[in-house]
Structure 1
Amino acid sequence: MAARAARVIVVAHGRTAAVRAAAFPSPDDVLELPPAGDVVKGEGRAGPEERCLGTARWLGVAAVADPGLRDCDLGRWRGRAFAEVAAEEPEGVRAWLSDPGAVPHGGESVAGLIARMGEWLGGLPPGRSLAVTHPAVVRAMLVSALRLPDVAYWRVDVPPLGRVELSGFDGRWNLRLPQWGPLMGASRGSEGIFPDFSAISEGDFEG
């Protein structure tokens, strides 16, 4: 019997106070989403931070906290506005934006995050799963899965509630673009994994 491939839908958490303020996220970053409903539509994993677990609840996902989906550790930059850090540490910010191995903030490098997400993908069991995590983690996951150079991390944009699908077997991953949305002419779920995904939009949580 042929081995089954792993397939994972990965969702970035909703908009937060740090996103709105153009700041580096901190562990206590506040999620800006309406109250979650009581209907559970499925199960999955989520980053251990409340902004991931809260997004999962809002989406109707009963999620287990997964430390492997934690956010990139930005060290002493956490919670600070990007403009402020760039003004105080211009060389450090330039290094961080150009060298994936740089750790001017004293935390985790982009290269380290990409490697960590490669290990996480490699540990997925066969079959379907769903994960709610951070935009930075989604970016790193895509770079790892598609075997792109680490510098490609800075060329991937992941908006709040952005979604990607990856399917793979034996370390080889394919990216599958969503097949729903106003330009597609029809809304579509994920074959029972997440049937109401097409209803999500940023307008649902903008204040």
Structure 2
Amino acid sequence: MSGLRLLAHAPTAALRGAHFGGDDDIDEGGRRAALAMSPLGRGDLWVCAPSRAARETAQALGHSAAVERALADPDFGEWNGRSLDEVSAADPAGLQQWLTDVRSAPHGGESLASVRGRTGAWLDAMAGQRVVAVAHPLVVRAAIAHALALPDDAIWSLDVAPLSLTRLTYRAHRWHLHFPAAG
């Protein structure tokens, strides 16, 4: 049995402001929250998305994580750096398409199905290893949807908060969502 922990990176100003993409540093509240977390995965391999937020989250937890490109934040194309409100005002049809069809990329970037595909391929390659992976909450959602063989649009049914920790185990040739005992 192997264990994989998916840690959503600490909050950033862009994440708090519902902005698409960007490469922000974690904000001071996020840094304090990460520093206050209990230690985890001391003997495990640590990897992270190439974003500053993912790298800084791992560093705040006392780890130097190897950069894993498969965990990169989604490419939001022309929406990158814009708020949800700005995109809603400027491209309501495109936003509606993106929210209802995970294979679409009206922004000229990457579709959510593509994010799930690359994240899922990485996840499956990690079967049998003990890994802590730090990534954007949307990438964690994609990994969970893949691990549980959920439909692509299930990404929208999963809420992943910054600094939330999801544990997956791999046994009997499939991934399992693990809920540890409280305390």
Of 46, 49, 71, 2:48 maps to: 46
Question: In 2 relative to 1, CA 20–173 (structure 1 residues): closer, same or farther, beyond 3 Å?
Answer: same
Residue 160 (structure 2) pairs with residue 147 (structure 1): no
* C-alpha distance in 2 between matches for 1:173 and 1:128: 13
* C-alpha distance in 2 between matches for 1:125 and 1:172: 9
Question: Could you tell me which residue of structure 1 aligns to residue 15 of structure 2?
Answer: 19
Question: Could you tell me which residue of structure 1 aligns to residue 163 of structure 2?
Answer: 161
Please give the secondary structure, in 2, of the residue aligned with 1:174.
strand
* C-alpha distance in 2 between matches for 1:143 and 1:167: 14
| Cα contact 2:18–2:83 (8 A) shared by 1 | yes
| Cα contact 2:10–2:31 (8 A) shared by 1 | no
Question: Could you tell me which residue of structure 1 aligns to residue 101 of structure 2?
Answer: 99
Question: Could you tell me which residue of structure 2 aligns to residue 127 of structure 1?
Answer: 129
* C-alpha distance in 2 between matches for 1:100 and 1:152: 10
Please give the secondary structure, in 2, of the residue aligned with 1:61.
coil
* C-alpha distance in 2 between matches for 1:76 and 1:171: 40
Q: Report deviation, 1:30.
A: 2.7
| Cα contact 1:75–1:105 (8 A) shared by 2 | yes
Percent sequence identity over aligned pairs: 39
| Cα contact 1:163–1:178 (8 A) shared by 2 | no
1:106-149: CA deviation from partner (whole Å, max 9, x where unpaired) = 11101111111110011115231111111011000010000001
Letter in 1 for 2:104: A
Letter in 2 for 1:31: I
* C-alpha distance in 2 between matches for 1:134 and 1:171: 26
* C-alpha distance in 2 between matches for 1:159 and 1:31: 14
Question: In 2 relative to 1, CA 150–34 (structure 1 residues): closer, same or farther, beyond 3 Å?
Answer: closer
Q: Report deviation, 1:40.
A: 10
Q: Which runs of 5+ in 2 are unaligned?
A: none
Question: Could you tell me which residue of structure 1 aligns to residue 139 of structure 2?
Answer: 137
* C-alpha distance in 1 between matches for 2:161 and 2:41: 23
Residue 31 (structure 2) pairs with residue 34 (structure 1): yes
Please give the secondary structure, in 2, of the residue aligned with 1:34.
helix
| Cα contact 1:40–1:62 (8 A) shared by 2 | no
* C-alpha distance in 2 between matches for 1:116 and 1:69: 8
Please give the secondary structure, in 2, of the residue aligned with 1:132.
strand
Tell me which of the two structures has the higher relative contact order, counting C-alpha pairs closer than 8 angstroms and 6 or more residues apart: 2
Matches within 5 A, 1:48-197: 48-124=50-126, 126-169=128-171, 171-179=173-181, 184=182, 186=183
Q: Specify the structure having the higher radius of gyration (Cα).
A: 1
Question: In 2 relative to 1, CA 34–140 (structure 1 residues): closer, same or farther, beyond 3 Å?
Answer: closer
TM-score, normalised relative to structure 2: 0.88
1:136-172: CA deviation from partner (whole Å, max 9, x where unpaired) = 1100001000000111111111111011011114751
| Cα contact 2:20–2:84 (8 A) shared by 1 | yes
More helix, by proportion: 2
Give the number of aligned pairs. 175
Letter in 2 for 1:46: C
* C-alpha distance in 2 between matches for 1:116 and 1:20: 26
Letter in 1 for 2:12: T
Question: In 2 relative to 1, CA 170–106 (structure 1 residues): closer, same or farther, beyond 3 Å?
Answer: farther
